[in-house]
Amino acid sequence: MPIFPAQKIPKEKMKEYRVLLYYKYVEFADPEKFMKDHLEYCSTNEILGRVYIGKEGINGTVSGKVKNIEAYKAHLRSYHEFSDIIFKEDEADQHAFKKMHVRVKNEIIHSDLEGVSLNNGGKRLKPEELLEFYEKGKDFIIVDARNWYESRIGKFKGAITPPMKNFREWVNVAEELEAYKDKTIVTYCTGGIRCEKASAYLVEKGFKDVYQLDGGIVSYTKKFPDTYWEGGVFVFDERRVVEPNTKEELKYVARCYFCNQPTNYYINCHNLDCDKILVSCHKCKIENDYCCSDECRKSQNRRKRYYG
């Protein structure tokens, strides 16, 4: 298996901000108190983002300056429930969020799989092991547990990308995967939170050999860009999409709705009665006034113009 040594980044090239993605399924006794305390901590320490807390655990993505993010990680790990939490971390030029939200949720990721036991989760497959699956030509099925508009921007080579509008449709996907019940199945998502539940559901439905990609797409693409991930990675912050690959043939899988040129950018149609998600290059989004059609451009119910 190839080894990719870590490269030391010169200080002058390091960016001032960091973006964290993390989650942990764990029994948590007092989500309401945590919500209030955590919001106060983040407000005091210039941390922005979104954190969902519930009795089943925590799911968060936040941004801040390096010093504040380091303090934030230590603060979160000071809770015994989160002492071993794993953070996925990206550099950024600025905050990736505009506000800070902390919410109490019954589920830290909406799934309608509340009865599923995470003790039945698929075997954790490290990025190195997935790379080896591909390199050695293993017979396996790899399945995207994300929404359709996420997989439209990027996916693993040969992946099944179900047309899910949201993760609550995973029960339907499982039915469609019945033909592969005796095959090796690898599930993946952005950071691991969805495929942990998705894989457990498959195991409980009798699938024989189920894996979950440990750390998700983010962990894999950080270690092994320009290999078997194709396109961009959809993220739920102001960056919208990150591009891990440098090889031109692996940078894009999506094409502009208007001109058919390769792109990793997308918008929502600015007619609020439509709100269709469109893959669009920067040139075409402006030329088409952030709308999908002439009819939508004429709508009086338009969202405020965004000039990004």
Q: Active-site positions?
A: 189
Burial degree of 148 (CB within 10 A; 0-12, 13-18, 19+): middle
CB 55 within 8 A of CB 41: no
Cα 299 to its chain centre, rounded Å, is 32
User: Radius of gyration of the chain from Cα atoms?
Assistant: 20
DSSP code for 305: P
How many C-alpha atoms does 165 have within 13 Å on its Cβ side?
1
**Sequence-ordered list of residues with C-beta below 8 angstroms from that of 284, at least 6 positions apart, any chain:** 256, 257, 258, 259
